[in-house]
Chain A
Amino acid sequence: MKQTIALIRMELVRMFTSRRWLAGLLIWGVVGKLAADEVGSHVRNVGLGGWTIFDVHAALVNNMFFVGFLLLTTFVLIACDGLARDRETRFAHIVMVRAGSRWEWWVSKALPMALAAVVFQAGALGVTLAAAVYEGGTISRAPSAFALGEVNESADVASQLFFTPVQPGTDMLVREIGTSLYLSLGFAAIGMAVLALTVRFPASWLPGLVTVGVVLGDRILGWFIHASWYAWVSPSLRLMEAAHSAAVVHDPLPLWSSLVWWTVLLAGSTIAGLRMLRRVDV
């Protein structure tokens, strides 16, 4: 057990001292600024008065381009190619002879990656809120009229729902932390699937390429397949909080189904990765 903890500790040090997190910081800032601009200009156009910094995060995490492409790909590039890279450079060998077993080595890769998903979402939340403050958002945990889904009938521009309207009295900070945790689960599950893939195909260029390919393929199929069943198999749609809201989409997915979906993907990938790792040449 002490050995496993030491291995995880080393992997955590390695993960969180990587300069790749600077790319994460940059992307968080860019998407935060773009989302703040989008929310600010929309709220002004529909004449709903002010907007809060939490509205920006709520809108950001329902933007497929921001979440599915920019954030997810950045996360995969930061946290999910370590296994392939270690095998390419044979750093895996000098660690594994100390790990004592392949199981322990796999755990030392899987757990830090899952933790990185949480840290990544926390970073995205923090930087987005900071960008929203910079862009003039109100710092208030009470929902704005925009968040409540109110409509100004006299406005020239139709009001849009960027995310599921909230109930009066909702603590927006708690709501956004919850959304971040949900996205952490989704990112960790996707990250684990990618990690398991690199057990079979150890190439450090693969994780980024596969992620972009899958999300792109999913979106293209989504344009052509309008049947409601497709929402059940589409991973990128499930990442969207608003996909679970009857107020935003016609056929909402139950939230429990998405929690089960991501949990099964996470657990299945973890087991599959370990089973493959037992057989492959490292």
Chain B
Amino acid sequence: MNTEHTHTAPLRGARTGTDARPLVEVRGVAKVYGSKTVLDDVAMTIRRGEVVGLVGPNGAGKTTLIRILSGMSRPSRGEGTVLDRDIASTAGRLPFLGLMVERPMFIETLSGRRNLELLFGIRGAADGSSAESVLERVGLDPSDRKPVRAYSLGMRQRLSLAQAIGERPRLVVLDEPTNGLDPQGIIEMRSLVRELADRDGMGVLLTSHLLTEVEAVCDRVVLIHGGRAQRVYAPGDAEARGAMLLEVASPEDVGRVASVGVVEVVGSGGPLLMRIRVREAVPDVVRALVGAGVRIEAIHRDGSGLERAYMETVGAR
């Protein structure tokens, strides 16, 4: 299934105008090892200022897709460009993108800062002060001389993020960036990722198993399973915004809800708890429900839209 959908949801921070050419635009991407197809007919577009999530179970093909996008692997089929470079070619320059890998390793005997200086020195696009400022930005102490081998997993993650964003690439790929982070680190990571897109105008591709984090930070989420991009979920679109949880006082109220025109009952969370989709503004819906005699105990947004979409996609119950 080709899942490059056109959606009407507003993209947080998405840029338009002369710079609207996508950073990533690939179609029909497939990767086959022998008789095993690990990626099949995947399409993806990432624009400046856009955070795109890539979510799926282990072995779904996420890392393979990242390898193809970053030029480390050539697709068996498919076409398109990443930062204007043809993904099907291994000739020519590799695209420069910020890449944060899972379980990052560095030169273990050197400090984080020295590692960054050496990495940034390759392209000559950033210097020591860049290393210092980006370390501060990700919450690491630039004056820390401790070798990386003494870093905790959380510190490694922050250093890995620093090397990915320190040279201000146009495109950043973050593979499981919240691994090993404490709750505060996860919150900081979330706001930093949004900042990269909204303030710095970077395009961000993010993979994570923390669905609530992905939903909170991404403009769109590509759900991948069995090597195929099964669907695209947009947390900001009308469908996701309209999902609510409604708790009523009695079984009679359940029956009354179904008769209210501005509400569609789409599921049940218990005898008195319903998953509904609203067709009008929430205050108007509440007024209509009360007018129909429904005694409301609680009503709130259903924040588990991505979770539900994920479960539907992978076929789990």
Report which A residues bind B (CB closer than 8 A): 2-3, 6-7, 9-10, 13-14, 17-19, 89-102, 278-279, 281-282
Contacts of A278 in B (CB 8 A): 90
Taking the closest CB of chain A, its distance from the CB of B108, in whole angstroms, is: 9
Taking the closest CB of chain B, its distance from the CB of A281, in whole angstroms, is: 4
Say whether chain B's binding surface is mostly helix, strand, loop, or mixed: loop
Q: Roughly how many angstroms separate A89 CA and B104 CA in the complex, as a whole number?
A: 7
Produce 1/0 per residue, B98-109, CB < 8 A to A. 010111111101
Contacts of B97 in A (CB 8 A): 97
- Among residues of A, the one whose C-beta sits closest to the C-beta of B98 is A97
Contacts of B67 in A (CB 8 A): 93, 281-282
* Best-buried of A19, A92, A101 by chain B (most CB within 10 Å): A101
Q: Roughly how many angstroms separate A2 CA and B118 CA in the complex, as a whole number?
A: 13
In the complex, the answer to whether B121 meets A6 with C-beta atoms within 8 Å is yes
Q: Roughly how many angstroms separate A222 CA and B176 CA in the complex, as a whole number?
A: 52
Taking the closest CB of chain A, its distance from the CB of B201, in whole angstroms, is: 19
Say whether chain A's binding surface is mostly helix, strand, loop, or mixed: helix
- Given A19-B109, A279-B90, the answer on whether A93 and B121 have CB atoms closer than 8 Å is no
- B110: which of A6, A17, A96, A99 is its contact (CB, 8 Å)? A17
In the complex, the answer to whether A6 meets B124 with C-beta atoms within 8 Å is yes
Question: Is B157 interfacial (CB-CB < 8 Å)?
Answer: no
Contacts of A7 in B (CB 8 A): 122
In the complex, the answer to whether A97 meets B70 with C-beta atoms within 8 Å is yes
Which of B6-14, B71-79, B183-191, B279-287 is found at the contact surface with chain A?
B71-79
Contacts of B109 in A (CB 8 A): 17-19
In the complex, the answer to whether A89 meets B105 with C-beta atoms within 8 Å is yes
- Given A10-B121, A19-B109, the answer on whether A93 and B73 have CB atoms closer than 8 Å is no
In the complex, the answer to whether A97 meets B118 with C-beta atoms within 8 Å is no
- Given A10-B122, A89-B103, A282-B72, the answer on whether A100 and B90 have CB atoms closer than 8 Å is no
Q: Roughly how many angstroms separate A279 CA and B92 CA in the complex, as a whole number?
A: 13
* Best-buried of B72, B93, B110, B160 by chain A (most CB within 10 Å): B72
Contacts of B103 in A (CB 8 A): 89-90
B 119-168 contacts with A by CB, 8 A: 119, 121-124, 160, 163-164
In the complex, the answer to whether B74 meets A3 with C-beta atoms within 8 Å is no
21 A-B pairs whose Cβ atoms sit less than 8 Å apart in the complex:
A6-B118, A6-B122, A6-B123, A9-B118, A10-B121, A13-B110, A17-B109, A89-B105, A90-B102, A90-B105, A91-B101, A91-B106, A94-B99, A97-B71, A97-B94, A98-B119, A98-B122, A100-B93, A281-B67, A281-B73, A282-B72
Q: Roughly how many angstroms separate A95 CA and B67 CA in the complex, as a whole number?
A: 13
In the complex, the answer to whether B96 meets A93 with C-beta atoms within 8 Å is no
Contacts of A98 in B (CB 8 A): 96, 119, 122-123
- Among residues of A, the one whose C-beta sits closest to the C-beta of B105 is A89
Contacts of B107 in A (CB 8 A): 10, 13-14, 17
- Among residues of A, the one whose C-beta sits closest to the C-beta of B64 is A281
Question: Is B22 interfacial (CB-CB < 8 Å)?
Answer: no
Taking the closest CB of chain A, its distance from the CB of B190, in whole angstroms, is: 22
In the complex, the answer to whether B102 meets A97 with C-beta atoms within 8 Å is no
In the complex, the answer to whether A93 meets B118 with C-beta atoms within 8 Å is no
Q: Roughly how many angstroms separate A278 CA and B90 CA in the complex, as a whole number?
A: 7
Contacts of B118 in A (CB 8 A): 6, 9-10, 13
In the complex, the answer to whether A96 meets B94 with C-beta atoms within 8 Å is yes
Question: Is B303 interfacial (CB-CB < 8 Å)?
Answer: no
Q: Roughly how many angstroms separate A101 CA and B85 CA in the complex, as a whole number?
A: 12
- B119: which of A90, A95, A101, A279 is its contact (CB, 8 Å)? A95
Q: Roughly how many angstroms separate A6 CA and B167 CA in the complex, as a whole number?
A: 16
Taking the closest CB of chain B, its distance from the CB of A65, in whole angstroms, is: 31
Q: Roughly how many angstroms separate A138 CA and B36 CA in the complex, as a whole number?
A: 66
Contacts of B73 in A (CB 8 A): 281-282
Contacts of A100 in B (CB 8 A): 93-94, 96, 123
